[in-house]
Amino acid sequence: MSGFLKWVLLGYFAAPLCVFAQIEVTSPFVHEKRYVLPSGKKVELTLQERRCRNGECREVDAGMWGMDGGIPRFVTETFLVRINGKPFPIPEKLYKDLTNMHSASVIEDKERIILELKGGDGAGAYTARFELGGMCGFERKICGEVCGEIWEHTTWYNSFAYEGDPLCKSGIQ
């Protein structure tokens, strides 16, 4: 086979692979699911991202999870949690910095409900764990794709926000 023909055939088969490698996720992450945990608790989780509006998202170096510089493709718009039918409020400021999500799950560990969200890729990959304690508050831990080291740890306790629960007088239950 001639050298020219080899190059033509190589180009014919390699070009689609190059195009395929450049394809990015083009739709925002949406997760609406009901979970029944081993304890019998029922958790409803609704997560919705949306595309950045024109001029809304600017280039980030830090301050947004799921990015290693650049402009986020998507931002978290909705993060709703219900436990046994009762809303569990999570302040917007504790989820608005999560971008480019690709998975969500809910598990139970020692009577705590853990929401685990994963997003980003490469150097911008993260795992966000929301450890819900009672109905009084929660902890948010951010780490890499594989959680070997905690990068950020936030404890949110606000008895005013959770005043409907009589056990919310002494911190996270």
* Predicted pLDDT of residue 23: 37
What does the mean pLDDT of the chain come to?
A: 77
56: tokens are 């809304």
Q: Using one digit for the tens of pLDDT, what is the confidence trace for 87-146? A: 888 888 889 888 889 999 999 988 789 999 998 888 788 999 999 875 567 889 999 877
88: tokens are 């569990």
Q: Tell me the HSE value of 21 on the side-chain side, using a 13 A CA sphere.
A: 5
Q: How far apart are CA 41 and CA 39, in angstroms?
A: 6
Closest-CA residue to 152 (of 63, 78, 57): 63
Q: Tell me the HSE value of 81 on the side-chain side, using a 13 A CA sphere.
A: 21
Q: Using one digit for the tens of pLDDT, what is the confidence trace for 6-21? A: 544 555 555 444 443 3
* Predicted pLDDT of residue 66: 78
Closest-CA residue to 79 (of 41, 111, 106): 106
164: tokens are 């409907």
User: Sheet harboring 112-119: ordered strands across?
Assistant: 101-109, 112-119, 126-133, 137-143, 150-157
For tokens 């853990």, the residue is: 114
